[in-house]
Amino acid sequence: MRRVSVTPGMNRRSFLAALGVVPAALLAVSCGNAEGPADTTPSSTVAPTTLPPVDGIEHPIGPEEVVLRLSWEGGFVAPETLFMRLPRVLVAGDGAVYFQGAQPAIYPGPLLPPVLVGRITEEALQTLLVAARDGDMFRTITYAQPDSGIADAPNTLLVIHANGATYTHDAYALGIGGTETDPDRIAFQKFVELLEPLAAGVPDSVAFAAQRYAIRASAADQVPAPDDIEPNEVAWPAGAGVRLAAANDCAVVDAADIGTLFNEATQITRFVDAGVKYVLAVRPLLPGDPGC
């Protein structure tokens, strides 16, 4: 494998060329036209393994293991929004890249958030890891607060698994409210910007079909009724293994036990279990997500 050298000053165009990623506008066909969920979830029988690639940086190689995970945490949003929040981008050990697709401009929208998965090569993954190493990302740090007094903003959280270690970066209000002045925050923002093309999508992506979901159930009479639209009602499967009365905080259900129920539901669908109507918040479980 040819190792790709990357320096902190590498410009965005040369980085994209090395990574094999094209701008988001050119990805509309490959990312936006996935025809239904494809079963792209790796087999759970694959044992976690970490081995050094040839002439490269050591990283986990299992399809269910995480190499890079960029996310937004916290902020002034509803608890259900926090519960359903997915990573901005996640790169697994086998090069699979998980990212959020475009939300349809319809109401009510689908219950499941649109998640797509594509793949990058080992060479491209090494490009990211070398950029992280050369950008001083192989360390754990909680960054200083920004100079401007910003309230209720989210934290930018980056987790890297490489060289047999875990490195975590946590910055409040990164890039919000003006130009960063702290050198460490500037370096972190530059690396986050290098990951943004992946968050915009990778070629030949398909819809992600989760094997498990995290759910949170709220009694429908405690949720404001939608305006001018009568919610549809569906029966909660008796074989789901979870009763909705016990899922008010968090529970995990297997996709095999509920079939296409979530794929056909909307954000206002009422799920009826033991005669009680519930509204669900649902999050597909990606690699590294424990669920609850």
Tens of pLDDT, residues 79-128: 888 899 999 999 999 999 999 999 888 889 999 999 999 999 999 999 99
> Residue 78: what pLDDT?
83
Give CA–CA dist 70/73, Å, rounded: 10
Backbone angles phi, psi at 255, to 5 degrees: -60, -35
Would you say 216 and 180 are in contact if contact means Cβ atoms under 8 Å apart? no
pLDDT in tens, 206-262: 999 999 999 999 999 988 878 788 999 999 999 999 999 999 999 999 999 999 999
Mean pLDDT of 35-45: 39
Higher pLDDT, 9 or 198: 198
Question: Over 70: is that where the pLDDT of 40 sits?
Answer: no
The model's pTM:
0.82
Where are the domains positioned within the chain?
12-39+50-207, 210-284
Q: CB-based contacts of 45: which residues, under 8 Å, 6+ apart?
A: none
pLDDT digits (tens, 9 = 90+) for 155-190: 999 999 999 999 999 999 998 977 899 999 999 999
In this structure, what token pair is assigned to residue 79?
């608890």
pLDDT at position 227, please? Answer: 79
Asked if the bond preceding 183 is cis, omega within 30° of 0, the reply is: no
Q: CB neighbours of 166 closer than 8 A, spacing ≥ 6?
A: 140, 159, 160
